[in-house]
Amino acid sequence: MKDNIKKLINIIKKGGIAVIPTDTIHGIVCRAQDKKAVERIYYLKKRNPVKASIILIDSPDRLRLFGIKPTNTLIETLSKYWPGPVSVILDCDDDRYSYLHRGTKALAFRLPSDDNLRKLIKETGPIIAPSANIEGMPPAKNNDEAYQYFGDGVDIYVDGPSSDKASKIIKISEDQVEIIRA
């Protein structure tokens, strides 16, 4: 990923879409605050329009960009899971982000453990990162498989290893933690 990092950053900042390895599985990514790019990913993935995507952040402070004000208790709870392969669902009833929460009034965030990925996110801003596949199909394990799904619809494919395991998903509301996907 290091070789293409500058090109990748520029593409994402300009509203482009990339397939990249993450600290979990390969993801199809764009800037979370670029509604047009987000909708393009939904179109490419043939994703259920009411299904929210996971947002990768580089710091818990980035939650504020989405109208979430992390309390000390929340920060303490998040520190038990982050950085790492755990996506955390938090309430977000701000209608400005309805294109992200898709009516669920909640957003899922992950703070990746991979330093290079966090550096990328620091440059681009938070990114959505659903798995690199068509809805209902197996996640792509490499760029060749991802290309079979998306072809030239993606602006850049970045090589690199990723895990074959999706993130664990938990929901935190008030002081309660609920496991959604182990």
pLDDT at 2 over 80: no
* pLDDT computed for residue 146 by the predictor: 96
Choose between 144 and 93: higher pLDDT: 144
What is the number of helices (H) and of strands (E) in the chain? 6, 9
Length of the chain: 182
Question: Which class for 158: exposed (0-12), middle (13-18), buried (19 or more C-beta within 10 A)?
Answer: buried
| Joined tokens for residue 157 | 């494919």
CATH of the domain at 157: 3.90.870.10
pLDDT at 1 over 60: no
* pLDDT computed for residue 39 by the predictor: 96
Question: Which class for 56: exposed (0-12), middle (13-18), buried (19 or more C-beta within 10 A)?
Answer: buried
Q: How much of the chain exceeds pLDDT 70, in percent?
A: 97
Amino acid (one-letter) located at 85: P
pLDDT band at 161 (very low <50, low <70, confident <90, very high): confident
Domain extent at residue 29: 5-181
Choose between 172 and 154: higher pLDDT: 154
* pLDDT computed for residue 181 by the predictor: 78
Question: Which class for 41: exposed (0-12), middle (13-18), buried (19 or more C-beta within 10 A)?
Answer: buried
Q: Which residues contact 66 (CB under 8 A, 6 or more apart)?
A: 32, 55, 92, 94, 97, 100, 107, 126
* pLDDT computed for residue 158 by the predictor: 93
| Joined tokens for residue 111 | 């703070």
> Crossing angle for the helix pair 115-124 and 5-13, nearest 10 degrees?
40
State how far the Cα of 60 lies from the Cα of 69, in Å rounded to an integer: 10
Q: Which of 112, 108, 117 is nearest to 181 (CA)?
A: 108
* pLDDT computed for residue 111 by the predictor: 97
3-state secondary structure of 98: helix
Number of domains in the chain: 1
Choose between 161 and 129: higher pLDDT: 129
